[in-house]
Structure 1
């Protein structure tokens, strides 16, 4: 029974880390799918705005730096990124950006279709529920039985 539960935990852990990497891949695609030099030219961004956009794109250069921030809520990157982009561009230019590069849809929705946050939360809750059952059984077994000397 212990081996079965341990296996379930390991599978849960790997499936959660897979979901996490999917979110990171969406984050990277949100940057690489767009030619940002064209965005800067099309929207007539100032040098300061362009530098801020490039800095935003370089904020998390690898999975580890991204994961340190979004380990608990991986879907949060979308809201964070696009609210920051809206702040940099300004409301009017952000609307133009959204229409041209995301066909009028909110970028949060565009990159939310593949990785639904609710799905991730359900997987996370299932993992912790299974983990909790395992530890309750362990504690019941350890506290209810005092060893071989009884």
Structure 2
């Protein structure tokens, strides 16, 4: 019994770790997919704003530092990162940033859409709908 329990715990923690690393990879892509020097130049950011953006981009340089903060809420990085960017840039420059790099969409929604389009979880939608409809009475 101990072997089975240990195996389940190892598989579970590996699965959680894998899922967590997917979120971290999205986090890193949100930084690496943007030429921040171009953003700083295009938006005519002050030295203070440029330094704050660079500090924000360097906040979690590895998975372990990111995971210490977001282990219990891996989705949290999206909201926090882009709220912080809006604070640094100001509303108008943040809107220009979104329009250029995210086609006017909220970056948080872009990353959530990518997460929700993950084919590994598509089969679960039908099950979730089936379970949510159980117990509901249908009026005729």
TM range (shorter): 0.7 to 0.9
Higher Cα Rg, which structure: 1
Matched residues, number:
117
TM-aligned CA deviation for residue 86 of structure 1: 0.1
| Counterpart check, 1:73 vs 2:49 | no
TM-aligned CA deviation for residue 5 of structure 1: 3.2
Spell out, residue by residue over 1:87-137, the C-alpha distance to the aligned partner (whole angstroms, 9 max, x if none). Answer: 000001101100110011110111223335xx7xxxxxxxxxxxxxxxxxx
CA RMSD of aligned residues (A): 1.4
Q: Could you say what secondary structure the match of 2:68 adopts?
A: helix
TM-aligned CA deviation for residue 9 of structure 1: 2.0
TM-aligned CA deviation for residue 2 of structure 1: 4.0
Partner of 2:114: 114
Partner of 2:63: 63
Q: TM-score, normalised by structure 1?
A: 0.73
Deviates more, 1:43-52 or 1:3-12: 3-12
- Structure 1: 5+ residue runs without aligned partners? 120-150
Partner of 2:21: 21
Higher relative contact order (CA 8 A, sep 6+): 1
Partner of 1:144: none
Q: TM-score, normalised by structure 2?
A: 0.78
Q: Could you say what secondary structure the match of 1:96 adopts?
A: helix
Matches within 5 A, 1:1-150: 1-116=1-116
CA distance in 1, matches of 2:7, 2:70: 26
CA distance in 2, matches of 1:43, 1:114: 27
TM-aligned CA deviation for residue 8 of structure 1: 2.0
- Structure 2: 5+ residue runs without aligned partners? 122-140
Spell out, residue by residue over 1:17-60, the C-alpha distance to the aligned partner (whole angstroms, 9 max, x if none). Answer: 00001111100000000000100111111111111101100111
